[in-house]
Amino acid sequence: MSEMSLVPFPPLVRSLLGALLLVLLAAPASADTTAAASAPADDALMPFRLDAHASLTWESSFGVGARADISIIDKARMFSSRDELALSVGADVVFITFGGSNKIYVWPTAVLQWSLGLSERGVFYPELGLTARIKPDGWGGVFPNIGFGGRYYLHRSLALLGRLGWPMAVSLGMTF
């Protein structure tokens, strides 16, 4: 990856963020809560969601990470009982590279995640935000974090997690 201090968002990304904001503002403030009332009793146990995952980067590096998803707009204001807009913050620590130089890199991340309920147990989400790269010898720059993922709920807030994006290529784990 090239060294850069801050990557401006391209016009397409700015347009998508603007469209997302318009959709959210157009949603009625007093949404029908009958869908939420008829949802199964598998609501989350905490007001936030935690995830632990393994990560593989596009540069063939492997590591582990964790995130906390904090709900900004919950299901009562969204379109279905499983929809949610959340701020997801956390970090990935990459420590094994398949090229032989096992250096530790830390990737702190903050993204906006829009969870869209596909079924009673399945959720798909796009996410967009920023990530930084901290190298062993110092600062590595700030980069856009773009991805898509999904959760399959096993019980209450326990779910399997899969994510595909950039700069982390694949993340697989569990949410609690």
Q: Model confidence at 96, in pLDDT bands (50, 70, 90)?
A: confident
Structure token digits, residue 95: 């420590």
Cα–Cα distance for residue pair 107/94, rounded to 1 Å: 8
The single residue listed with the structure tokens 């930084």 is: 132
* Domains delineated in the chain: 11-18+45-175 (2.40.160.20)
Which pLDDT value is given to residue 99?
75
pLDDT above 90 covers a percentage of the chain that reads 45
**Which amino acid, one-letter code, is at 104?**
I
| Structure tokens, 70 | 């904090």
Give the confidence band of 48 by pLDDT, cuts at 50, 70, 90.
Answer: confident
Q: What is the pLDDT of residue 11?
A: 61
Q: Of the given ranges (8-12, 167-171, 172-176), which has the lowest mean pLDDT?
A: 8-12
